[in-house]
Amino acid sequence: MTSKSLAALATAVLFAACSGDSVTGPGAGGGLTTQFSRAITLSELDSILASGPTRVEIKLINGSLVAREVEVKEAEDLRDKEEIESRITAINPAGNVTLALGGLVVDFDTGTEFEAEDGQHLTMQEFVTRVQDALAAGDNPPVEAKRNPADTPQDPGDATFLATKLELDDEADEDEMEINVDGDNYATTTTPPPDAILTVLGLAIELDVSGGVTEIEAEIDDDREEVDFEGMVASVNGSSFTLTDGTVVSIVDGTEIEDADDDDELGSLAEVEQALAAGFLVEADGEGVVTGSNPLTITASEVEFEIEDDDDDLPGDLEFEDRVTSVDVAGRTLTLANGTIVQVADDQLIDHSSDLLTLQAASDAIDAGRMVEAEGDAELVDAGPPLTLNALDIKIEDDS
């Protein structure tokens, strides 16, 4: 979608202001209220970090080391992969990429997994060539870097990040990271702003709460299984929208709608409805909890809306990604850390580039104490609990 097209749309529509840190709900007339997170103070953040290792998600203002949002995640997230999203500004074929996020250098080696925008497995050389070609064309390809977390948070001044996976991803163009920290990473300042500094990977990230720049939140524990959703929006109906596959996604008082930072992004349901009326294709990408099964109904905890070009890939399946805690080989199912049960009808559904190519191999790895992760696309079988999915495709990795 060109900027000119968006400008025409903006002229025709009086957009409702809605930042990525605000929420859109059913209104004063009543309706479902789900609180996924709560605002906390700097003092509360200090106390949480001082109590021990904590997983935080940091969203930065692009081109700066100023946080627009810091969210304290649930304790169970400490074992999830640490992630960085940013744009590549340089690549060294010998084994590293430089990111726009503070000039951070991410290393890779022969043990790193490489993936293209469409999920295709790449060799190291194919990855290097793609990035070099993009840089030569004047582009800075967005990338998502992942690694397994250490037993204790990395020293704040240590900038080392050896990726176990590098994934080229058009949606990773915002500077963000999810990483484990503790009290050593945090320090208040004597002369705000900023009010505090969160130092991670050698980067001194500023928290400007008093100036209204940084919002700090903490997730609220929710025992319900959370799922990812992605697809094209077919219609908007009050405080919900329907995807082309029939999935209904509800926006409630606790839903976070991402900022419309780019020309092709939309920041509210009102903007989505107007874009659809103007003939544009709109993609929704987010996560939430399943609250119904006929049709599949998801209450969104966060969502991002983006106007798509006609020739873009249009995904529409329910996605899953988590650690595998157990495998029932005879029953052809595996259970994820969040309680979700995934049915795998045949081993041929398992991606050939997986570390583990059969459910038996996955079961053996878990019995041996290894960390196994599964990700893929699925269709809903039962909203549960427990949530039960039928895998359409699946990748099973040994992340030990």
- 303 shares its domain with 322: no
Distances (CA, A) of 84 to 87, 154, 164, 178, 362: 10, 15, 12, 7, 27
Summarised one tens digit per residue, pLDDT across range 173-231 is 899 999 999 999 999 999 999 999 999 999 999 999 999 999 999 987 666 677 889 88
pLDDT of residue 1: 38
Q: Which pTM does this prediction carry? A: 0.64
113, part of any domain = yes
pLDDT of residue 5: 40
245, part of any domain = yes
- Identify the domain boundary among 308, 339, 361: 308
Task: Check which CATH number belongs to the domain holding 334 and give it.
Answer: 2.40.50
- Identify the domain boundary among 244, 273, 308: 308
369, part of any domain = yes
Cβ contact 106:203 at 8 Å: no
Assign residue 199 a region (left: φ > 0; alpha: ψ between -120 and 50; beta: otherwise): beta
- Give the closest residue to 199 by CA, choosing from 102, 329, 296: 102
- 90 shares its domain with 122: yes
Cβ contact 293:204 at 8 Å: no
pLDDT of residue 263: 63
pLDDT of residue 224: 67
- 199 shares its domain with 89: yes
| Local structure of 364: helix, strand or coil | helix
- 23 shares its domain with 147: no
pLDDT of residue 172: 85
235, part of any domain = yes
- 166 shares its domain with 73: yes
- 178 shares its domain with 241: no
- 336 shares its domain with 205: no
107, part of any domain = yes
- 21 shares its domain with 55: no
- Identify the domain boundary among 179, 202, 219: 219
pLDDT of residue 9: 41
Domain count, the chain: 3
pLDDT of residue 281: 83
Residue 350, domain extent = 318-398
313, part of any domain = no
Q: Following DSSP, what letter does each residue of 49-110 receive, concatenated? A: HHTS-EEEEEEE-TTSSBEEEEEE--GGGGGSPEEEEEEEEEEETTTEEEETTTT-EEE--T
Q: Which residues of the chain have pLDDT under 50?
A: 1-33, 310-316
- Is the torsion defined by CA of 26, 308, 22, 33 positive or negative? positive
262, part of any domain = yes
